[in-house]
Amino acid sequence: MKVKENKILEISIMIVVFAAVFIFLSINSVTADQSEATYLGTDSCKGCHPTNYELWDETSHGIYFFDDSEWLYNDVLTDKYVRCGDSMLPCHTIGYNEIDKGGYDPAYAWDSNENAHLLGIGCENCHGPGSEHISGSDKKADINQIVDHYAGSCGGTDDAGCHGGTRQYGDEIVPGWEESAHANEAPEYAQRVDCMSCRSTEGFIADAEGDPLTEIPEEVTWTITCGACHDPHPEATNTNHYQLRLSEDEICEACHYSTSSLGSEDVHHPQVEMRAGNVGVDVEDTTYMVDVNCVECHHYNSPHGTNASEYKQGHSWVPQPEACVECHDGVIALPEYNITTALEDIEEQHENYANTYATVSPNIETMKTKKAYADDNKIWTKTGMNDTYYEALWNFGLATADGSNGTHNPDYAEALMLDANTKALEVIAAVDSTPIPEDDGTPGFEAVAFIVAIGIALILLRKRIKK
Ligand code: HEC
Ligand code: HEC
Ligand code: HEC
Ligand code: HEC
Ligand code: HEC
Ligand code: HEC
């Protein structure tokens, strides 16, 4: 009896195991698996994707390794290929050290037959190994489509860390980006269709391509990832540096402009307006280095070879005094700066801004309180200050919501705040000098006029009825 029961149990277990193995195998043979694929090299993609190939060939990913054989390293002319013999290989080859998948094998020389087809930053660095895709029938399933717009993918594999910072100084772009506000998902704005263009990667790309989204797509990233600003497959007509979707003059301005206007209570991110210096009310137009674009001040990379602990990476977009020094060397632009003097100048601008802000800000607050008081007591229209009030808010909002503490246009910020101050004091005085009408119980002019009008109407009506 006992033996028989055990036998049944054994058979049942075996059936379950067989079924599980069968289901596992059948699932895997239906959806061909990219994890079984091997690397074939970029030439193997050329035949079926000629346009992608030609455009890739023009990008830095396509030409970087092959354009010329010599370059400067720490001001010394060296042979690129010799140097590539070591540290550069993980990021300049396909499938580095993934030998089981037919990737680049460090045991051989870089130009050996085994490795030659795997040189460069090829299609498979981003899309993964391609053999299953090329031989298989389901072209969509067997290749990495990279729909996440790749803040992660740009870092490369852990082994390579191409833009990811595990490599030497110079490649710390992903950590720089992670520090920046662009990597922050702001929950209060996420999921809002009206914020999608500047808060989501997909919304921005659609705008840049001239085909704005009207609803939130299924795959959406509420941060500004690498793929928002950079296009891995730029159009032939796109001649921007660094595969940018818009030129360096335009790319930051596409998001950092004011979405408010005169008459709004709040002003949001008016960096473009502050740099242009021409939208204040009753304030003279003022520019400050007007031809210098956002990137020129906000992006500074230390030169190659800087000590890793002192290395600065531009993708945090924190402005660095070194960026000022690059132009202000006494030849391109005056005043002439070194890092200390540039920093001193910026700090002085901050201080001037802070002083003016400290004087004006309380008056703006008082003005708002007075407006609320005048509204409550129904005397706001009598003050005649409605336009002045919104002009003060606009000028003050431009100078302060810009976030640069005046440095984007110091004299303009000062003039805007001082004008806002004058206007705020006018509003305060006007509210203070407008008496609140006393409610003494006798009917006012409107009531009398109303009663008279009804009287006349009744008389006319009676006359009609009599006829
Ligand atoms: C034999 C022809 C052929 C070769 C060779 C080939 N592809 Fe494709 N590939 C296709 C076709 C066809 C599609 C379109 C699938 C579709 O849109 O239905 C495609 C689509 C793709 C896609 C987009 C997938 C998607 O879901 O939109 C990527 C990425 C891709 N290929 C990468 C590569 C890479 C990388 C290589 C080289 C390793 C390569 N292809 C080689 C035929 C090929
Ligand atoms: C730096 C990373 C990178 C490299 C290198 C790269 N791609 Fe792509 N590719 C992408 C990303 C990301 C997408 C997703 C769509 C987009 O954002 O443009 C994509 C989309 C595609 C698509 C589908 C959409 C389209 O544009 O047709 C194909 C096909 C494709 N790549 C083929 C290739 C081929 C072939 C090569 C090499 C010649 C290549 N890719 C090199 C990142 C890359
Ligand atoms: C907000 C837009 C924006 C985002 C997001 C962004 N970049 Fe850039 N990137 C730029 C601009 C603009 C430049 C050109 C800088 C210059 O001209 O000095 C640039 C330059 C580069 C360069 C070449 C110069 C350098 O700094 O070494 C690389 C490589 C690069 N970006 C990679 C990335 C990667 C990887 C990510 C994601 C982690 C990323 N970028 C995210 C705008 C962006
Ligand atoms: C796709 C829209 C978009 C583009 C393009 C863009 N930004 Fe931004 N930027 C944002 C958003 C949104 C924030 C605010 C993120 C947050 O705080 O939640 C931001 C924040 C910033 C901040 C930090 C502000 C703070 O409050 O901490 C700086 C500095 C900045 N951006 C500079 C730049 C520069 C320089 C460029 C051009 C290379 C650029 N941005 C391009 C959308 C964009
Ligand atoms: C891309 C080059 C470039 C960069 C970067 C740059 N400047 Fe300038 N700057 C100029 C030029 C050109 C002028 C003179 C022409 C002008 O005013 O437009 C100038 C003018 C100035 C002036 C005199 C302006 C006036 O109106 O009297 C000051 C002060 C100044 N820069 C400070 C700075 C500081 C501080 C930084 C860094 C935050 C900086 N600059 C970054 C190119 C640059
Ligand atoms: C002349 C150099 C210069 C130019 C040009 C410039 N900025 Fe700035 N920006 C600065 C400086 C300096 C700060 C102040 C940083 C601080 O307060 O510590 C700043 C601050 C900012 C801030 C606020 C940062 C924060 O942490 O809150 C944003 C956002 C910003 N800039 C975006 C832009 C955009 C967008 C443009 C182009 C329309 C631009 N900047 C052009 C130098 C510049």
- pLDDT given for residue 255 in this prediction: 96
d(CA 91, CA 366): 59
Q: Whose CA is nearest to atom 20 of ligand 3?
A: 242
- pLDDT given for residue 49 in this prediction: 94
- pLDDT given for residue 7 in this prediction: 62
Q: How confident is the model at residue 67 (pLDDT cuts 50, 70, 90)?
A: low
Q: Give every CB contact of residue 185 below 8 A, 6+ residues apart in sequence.
A: 222, 223
- pLDDT given for residue 434 in this prediction: 95
Which segment of 3-12, 21-30, 67-76, 98-107 scores lowest on mean pLDDT?
21-30
Residue 359, classified by CB atoms within 10 Å of its CB into exposed (0-12), middle (13-18) or buried (19+), is exposed
Q: How confident is the model at residue 345 (pLDDT cuts 50, 70, 90)?
A: very high
Quick: pLDDT tens for 161-192. 678 765 555 567 888 888 899 998 888 888 88
Q: Does the pLDDT value for residue 22 go beyond 50?
A: no
Quick: pLDDT tens for 414-466. 999 999 999 999 999 999 999 998 865 555 556 566 777 777 777 777 777 66
Work out the average pLDDT over 118-130: 88
Quick: pLDDT tens for 376-389. 999 999 999 999 99
- pLDDT given for residue 23 in this prediction: 39
Q: Does the pLDDT value for residue 405 go beyond 60?
A: yes
- pLDDT given for residue 65 in this prediction: 64
Q: Does the pLDDT value for residue 16 go beyond 50?
A: no
Higher pLDDT pick, 459 / 133: 133
Work out the average pLDDT over 130-148: 78
Report the atom number in ligand 2 closest to the C-alpha of 55. 38
Quick: pLDDT tens for 302-333. 887 787 788 888 899 999 999 999 999 888 88
- pLDDT given for residue 74 in this prediction: 66
- pLDDT given for residue 256 in this prediction: 97
- pLDDT given for residue 174 in this prediction: 83
Report the atom number in ligand 4 closest to the C-alpha of 317. 29
Ligand 5 pocket list (CB less than 6 A): 288-292, 296-297, 319, 323-324, 326-328, 333, 335, 342, 345-346
CB 150 within 8 A of CB 157: no
Q: Is the CB of 323 under 6 A from ligand 3?
A: no
Q: How confident is the model at residue 29 (pLDDT cuts 50, 70, 90)?
A: very low
- pLDDT given for residue 25 in this prediction: 36
d(CA 154, CA 84): 20
Q: How confident is the model at residue 55 (pLDDT cuts 50, 70, 90)?
A: confident
Q: Whose CA is nearest to atom 28 of ligand 2?
A: 52
Q: 149 — alpha (psi -120 to 50), left (phi > 0) or beta?
A: left
d(CA 253, CA 207): 13
Work out the average pLDDT over 372-400: 97
Distance from the CA of 146 to the center of ligand 6, in angstroms?
32
How far CA 222 is from CA of 183, 188, 193, in Å, comes to 9, 11, 11
Residue 142: CB atoms within 10 A of its CB come to 22
Q: Does the pLDDT value for residue 105 go beyond 80?
A: yes
d(CA 338, CA 346): 12
CB 387 within 8 A of CB 349: no
Q: Is the CB of 44 under 6 A from ligand 1?
A: yes
Q: Per-residue b/e over 404-439, b at no fewer than 16 CB within 10 Å?
A: bbbbbbbebbbbbbbbbbebbebbbebbeebeeeee
Task: Identify which ligand lies nearest to the alpha carbon of 342.
Answer: 5
Work out the average pLDDT over 97-110: 90
Which segment of 143-157, 232-246, 334-348, 393-407 scores lowest on mean pLDDT?
143-157
Report the atom number in ligand 1 closest to the C-alpha of 128. 35
Ligand 2 pocket list (CB less than 6 A): 42, 45, 49, 52-53, 56, 61, 121-123, 125-127, 146, 150, 227, 232-233
Distance from the CA of 268 to the center of ligand 5, in angstroms?
25
Q: In the structure encoding, which two tokens stand for residue 94, read together?
A: 């396909």
Q: In the structure encoding, which two tokens stand for residue 337, read together?
A: 């700066």
Q: Whose CA is nearest to atom 28 of ligand 4?
A: 317
Query: Percent of the chain scored above 90 by pLDDT?
Result: 48
Q: Does the pLDDT value for residue 150 go beyond 80?
A: no
